Structure 1
Amino acid sequence: MPKQVDHAARREEIAQAALRLCARDGLAGVTIGQVAQEAGVSKGLVQHYFAGKADLLRASAHVLRGEIERCVRDAVRDARGPADTLRRVLLAIVELGVTAPIPLLAGHAFLARAVADPEIRDLYRAGGDAVHREIAALLAASGPAPDVDPGAEAHALLGLARGLSDGVLLGDLGVGDAAAIVDHHLRRILPEAAIGSDSSSWPRPFR
């Protein structure tokens, strides 16, 4: 019997190898030959699955989005109510600098590519819009202060979480410091919610 090949899994393995190169060397470091070497396969096999570098990068961008979505899903699995879910979503983004540095670094590399590549740009927008809508809905369901606009505040919280993730990645902030900053902002806009009740589990609280 001929060996059965999981083509979808093989494509993803190659795309993951490209992501590692993006994170390490930027997009300029991604060539068919280098990806083949990183994945431990032949150039011909990479070319069998991908028409060229642009096709490979688009596939890698889809894998990148899936990786980040998985991190967020894992973080909210045991959440208790909308306010706790909101906090966990934001902290999952913050923690990418520790839990998923390769997707985070690759995402930064893809940002410049998104300006020139409509498919990658649309993927970025779709992902960002989905996260924004989720944060806004969770915020609205958590009992915000009367003067809080959930849509506008969701943009601010998402920007805060993304910026803190870079700080964690660079070592400018510990995860505990970043979590305390998120909690500080959530307490301001959700005065009735119990925010950061498990903060004792975080190291080095922010002062």
Structure 2
Amino acid sequence: MMTPEEFSKKYQSEYEKGLIYPICPNCRKKLHLYGISSLTQKARFDHLNQSSNCELSDPKKAKDFPSYDFNNDEIIKEYLIQENQRKVYVLCKKLLGNTKFEYCKFYELIEIANKRNIFYYKGLKVWMILYILLTLQDFKNEKKDYMIRFVIKDLLVKTLNGESLKNEIQKIEKHRTGTKTRYIEMTEDFFKSTDDSWIKFILNSERYLRKN
């Protein structure tokens, strides 16, 4: 990724004319340069409008946000191996329990992850993908009428960097009568040992992983 100084040096003329602008790698919204000519302020990219939905718009959250490696396509290649796609789908479905989870919903999560450049997180392993996908949206159990939300217990960046003593994801079920919470350990062994043989279709995530 370019620094504000590198962007200014290379594209300042086009930027001032409105012909080019930086894009947030997380929310895909336009950014503007701040403090590039200041002697007292550190140059940075700012969201044009403070976006409460983007962690990178908040300096406090941004410092704990994963960094990117846009030169590394290895995780995408590994994920696209049919067995790995199936395992990710199967485990998403398993952790959701009785909640309906169709292939179209799975592809929707992949598309969101692609737009947010999650596959380019530094330190990402293929077995981590399913847990991150589950945090991207809330899910509704139509039959029993309750909502499900997943939250990674520790900072995601710690999981990616191998700094967490125990990787866990929190499953929160919001029922009319109250909230149920349980913690699920996130492990590579759980991923590798998953049986995906019952899936009779070829999963095709590749069309949702095109370059942005």
**TM norm structure 1:** 0.26
**TM norm structure 2:** 0.26
Relative contact order: is structure 1 or structure 2 higher (C-alpha 8 Å, sep ≥ 6)?
A: 1
Which structure features the higher share of helix residues? Answer: 1
Which structure features the higher share of strand residues? Answer: 2
